[in-house]
């Protein structure tokens, strides 16, 4: 589930509900309004400066039948987005160099219809998201640690933009 965020009253990222993860049911609830691979699944670009996290998320997504690729920096994600043309970008917010918000904005310049889902475990994210929102940018957001069932639910469930 994605949150509707009240920035002034929410000092940290809230927790989410507990949907159950059912591995292997990738075709049960297709994502709408997105480009996709040959099997009809969205192409997902995962960005996290912690390589183990990025690779773990990619493995979870692949088990669900998604086409997923991991990178560890915002600049490499932007470069890859030019050829990959992802449907969804799943990015950590706080990273060295370009943060996830800056990266998402730049990828949307390359792939305007790309859905950006950010995740973070740090309270500093609130200020960064508010600044981006004031500039007209909207993102979905998940709190770390990401549970597989939450991740799959958000990807399949459509948008729930932070506004």
61 belongs to a structural domain: yes
Q: What is the pTM of this model?
A: 0.70
Handedness of CA 26, 31, 36, 40 (dihedral sign): positive
Please state the domain count of the chain. 1
Whether 135 is covered by a domain: the verdict is yes
115 located within any domain:
yes
Asked if residue 24 is part of any domain, the answer here is no
Q: Which two structure tokens, joined as six digits, stand for 28?
A: 């049960």
Q: Which of 37-51, 58-72, 126-140 has the largest mean confidence?
A: 58-72
CATH number at residue 121: 3.40.50.2300
* Helix ranges, 10-65 (H): 51-63
- Asked if residue 44 lies in contact with residue 61, where contact means CB atoms within 8 angstroms, the answer is yes
Instruction: Average the pLDDT over each of 16-30, 41-55, 148-162 and give the range with the smallest value.
Output: 16-30
Please state the rounded mean pLDDT for residues 15-20.
Answer: 30
Let me know if residue 21 belongs to a domain: no
141: β partners: 118
DSSP 8-state class, residue 123:
T
Closest CA to 157 of 13, 14, 17, 6: 17
Residue 120 lies in a domain: yes
In a domain, 27, yes or no: no
Reference 44, options 9, 84, 78, 75; nearest CA is 84
* Tokens read off for 120: 């973070």
- Within a domain: 11: no
Structure tokens at 155: 């990807």
Identify which of 124, 148, 3 has the alpha carbon closest to the alpha carbon of residue 62.
148
- Please give the residue range of the domain that contains residue 65: 36-156
User: Greater confidence, 29 or 121?
Assistant: 121
């Amino acid at each position: 589930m994605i949150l509707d965020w009240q920035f002034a009253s929410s000092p940290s990222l809230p927790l989410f509900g507990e949907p159950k993860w059912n591995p292997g049911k990738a075709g049960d609830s297709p994502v709408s309004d997105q480009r996709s691979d040959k099997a009809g699944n969205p192409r997902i670009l995962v960005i996290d400066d912690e390589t183990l996290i990025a690779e773990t998320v990619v493995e979870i997504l692949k088990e669900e039948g998604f086409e997923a690729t991991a990178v560890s920096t915002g600049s490499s994600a932007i470069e890859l987005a030019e050829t990959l043309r992802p449907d969804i970008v799943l990015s950590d917010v706080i990273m060295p160099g370009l943060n996830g918000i800056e990266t998402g904005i730049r990828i949307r310049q390359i792939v305007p219809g790309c859905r950006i889902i950010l995740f973070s475990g740090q309270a500093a994210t609130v200020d960064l998201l508010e600044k981006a929102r004031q500039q007209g940018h909207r993102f979905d957001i998940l709190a770390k640690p990401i549970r597989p069932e939450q991740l799959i639910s958000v990807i399949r469930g459509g948008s729930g933009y932070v506004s």
